[in-house]
Amino acid sequence: MRKPAGTLGEPSWLSIDSVFRGSGETVFTWVKTQLSGTGAMALLDEKHLAVEAAKRARFRVHHAGTKLNQAEINELEALAAKRKQTHAELIRGLVLREIEQDKTDLQPSAEMVEITGCRLLLVNLLGPMAKGQSITQEVFDGIVDEVKKQKARVAQDRLKDHEAWR
What is the C-alpha to C-alpha distance for residues 36 and 117, in angstroms, rounded to an integer?
73
CA–centroid distance for 120 within its chain: 30
Q: How far is CA 41 from CA 4, 10, 34, 123, 149, in A?
A: 17, 12, 6, 68, 60
Q: What is the mean pLDDT of the chain?
A: 80
Give first-to-last CA distance, the chain, whole Å: 81
pLDDT tens-place string over residues 25-68: 666 666 665 555 555 555 667 777 888 888 888 888 888 888 99
What is the C-alpha to C-alpha distance for residues 9 and 31, in angstroms, rounded to an integer?
15
Helices (H), the chain: 46-57, 70-83, 87-104, 110-130, 137-165
Q: How far is CA 79 from CA 103, 126, 143, 151, in A?
A: 26, 32, 21, 19
Q: What percent of the chain has pLDDT over 90?
A: 40
User: Do residues 12 and 35 make contact, with C-beta atoms less than 8 angstroms apart?
Assistant: yes
Q: What is the pLDDT along the chain (166 residues), one digit of tens a residue?
A: 444 554 555 556 666 566 655 566 666 666 665 555 555 555 667 777 888 888 888 888 888 888 999 999 999 999 999 999 999 999 999 998 888 877 766 788 899 999 999 999 999 999 888 999 988 999 999 999 999 999 999 998 898 888 777 7
